[in-house]
Structure 1
Amino acid sequence: MTVITYSRFSGINVQEENLMNMLFGKDSQYNALITPIANESEPLMIYFGLTLAQIINVYEKEQIVKVNVWLQLRWYDYQMRWNPDRFGHLESIRVPPEKVWTPDLVLFNNADGNYDVSYRANAVISSEGKILWIPIAIFKLTCTINVEYFPFDQQTCELRFGSSGLSASQVRFGWYATENSMELSDYVTSGTWTLLSAPAEIRIVKSPDPPYDSRTEMVFFMIIQRRPLFYTINLIVPTMMISLLTVTLFCLPSDAAEKMALCTSILVALVFFMLLISRILPSTSLSIPLISKYLMFTFIMNLLTVCLSVLSLYLNHHRVLMHTPVPYWARIVFLHTLPTCLFLHKPHDFHSVDKRREPLINSPLILRKIKTRKKKLPREMNYLIEQFLERSNDIKYISQKIAANTEEMQIFNDWKYISLVIDRIQLFVFLIVTFIGTVGLFVQIPKLFESQRDAI
Structure 2
Amino acid sequence: MSLQDALLRNYSSHGSGALPVADPSTAINLLFGVAIHQIIELRGWDQTLVTRLWLRMSWQDDFLQWNPDDHGGIETLVLPVKKVWTPDIFLYNNVDGEAGGLVKVTDVVLNSDGTATWNQPGIFRSACPMDTSLFPFDEQVCELYFGSWVHPVTRLNITATPTVDREQYQQNEQFILEEPSEIYTERRCAYYKFNLIQPWVILMILNIAAFYIPADCGERLGFTITIMLSLVLFQEVVAQQLPQTSTTRPLMSRFFAMATGLVGFTIMATILITRLTYCTLPSRLLCHRIRRVLIDKVAPRLGMGISQPPKKLSMSFSDPNFCNEMPKLSRSCSVREVNTEHLIKDIAVFCRGFTQYLKEKNDRMDELDECKMAALVLDRIFMIIVATLSIAQCFYFLAMEPKSC
1:192 aligns with 2:174: yes
**Residue identity opposite 1:241 in structure 2:** I
Query: 1:394: how far off?
Result: 8.2
Partners of 1:119 and 1:128 in 2: CA distance: 24
Note the C-alpha offset of 1:56: 0.6
Distance 1:27 1:46 in 2: 19
The match for 2:44 is 60
1:136 aligned to 108, 121, 130, which one? 121
Alignment of 1:288-437 (within 5 A): 288-320=249-281, 327-350=287-310, 403-437=359-393
Q: CA deviation at 1:119?
A: 5.6
1 or 2, which has the higher strand percentage?
1
1:284: which partner in 2? 245
The offset of 1:139, in angstroms, is 0.2
Amino acid at match of 1:335: I
Q: Paired residue for 1:146?
A: 131
CA contact (8 A) 1:48 1:174 kept: yes
Give the conservation status (yes or no) of the 8 Å contact 1:53–1:70. yes
Counterparts of 2:379 and 2:102, CA distance in 1:
66
The residue aligned with 1:274 is 235
% same residue: 24
2:214 and 2:232 map into 1 onto residues whose CA distance is 27
In the TM superposition, residue 246 of structure 1 has moved relative to its aligned partner by: 1.1
How far residue 125 of structure 1 moved from its aligned partner, in angstroms, is: 1.1
Give the Å deviation of 1:190: 1.0
TM score, norm. by length of structure 2: 0.85
Residues 78-87 or 401-410, more deviating: 401-410
CA distance in 1, matches of 2:268, 2:236: 24
Q: Could you list the per-position Cα deviations for residues 92-129 of structure 1 after superposition, in whole angstroms to 9, with x for gaps in the alignment?
A: 11111111100000011111042233562111111111
In the alignment, which residue of structure 1 is the partner of 2:13? 29
The answer to whether the aligner puts 1:70 opposite 2:54 as a matched pair is yes
Does structure 1 retain, via aligned residues, the 8 Å contact 2:51–2:124?
yes
Q: Does 1:181 align with 2:181?
A: no
- CA shift at 1:408, angstroms? 2.7
Aligned CA distance change for structure 1 residues 321 and 336 (closer, same or farther; 3 Å): farther
Give deviations 1:409-456, integer Å, cap 9, x for gaps: 22111100111011100111111111222233344x3xx33337xxxx
1:329 CA drift (Å): 1.9
Letter in 1 for 2:155: Q
| CA radius of gyration, larger in | 1
Change (3 A) 1:103 1:119: closer
Name 1:449's counterpart in structure 2. 402
Does residue 1:38 correspond to 2:19, yes or no?
Answer: no
Distance 1:238 1:314, change over 3 A: same
Instruction: Return the TM-score normalized by structure 1.
Output: 0.76
Determine helix, strand or coil for the equivalent of 1:72.
strand
Residue in structure 1 matched with residue 74 of structure 2 by the alignment: 90
C-alpha contact 1:93 1:124 (8 A) present in aligned 2: yes
Offset, 1:78: 0.9
User: CA 1:237 to 1:172, structure 2 compared with 1: closer, same or farther past 3 Å?
Assistant: same
Matched residue type, 1:138:
I
Query: Kindly tell me: are residues 325 and 111 of structure 1, through their superposed partners in 2, closer, same or farther at Cα, counting changes over 3 Å?
Result: closer
Structure 2 residue runs of 5 or longer lacking an equivalent are 317-341
> Shift in Å at residue 90 of structure 1?
1.5
Quickly say closer, same or farther: Cα 1:404–1:32, change in 2 above 3 A: same
Residue 223 (structure 1) shift: 0.4
Distance between the aligned counterparts of 2:148 and 2:374, measured in 1? Answer: 77
1:248 offset after TM fit, Å?
2.0
**SS state of the match for residue 61, structure 2?**
strand
Quote how far apart the aligned CAs of 1:257 are: 2.0
- 2:117 paired with 1:157: no
Judged with a 3 Å threshold, the aligned counterparts in structure 2 of structure 1 residues 31 and 325 are, in CA distance, closer, same or farther, namely closer
C-alpha deviation, 1:393, in angstroms: 8.8
1:368 paired residue number: none
Residue 204 of structure 2 contacts residue 259 of structure 2 at CA under 8 Å; is this kept in 1?
yes
Q: Aligned in 2, Cα 1:408/1:145: closer, same or farther, shift over 3 Å?
A: same
Question: Helix, strand or coil for the counterpart of 1:146?
Answer: coil
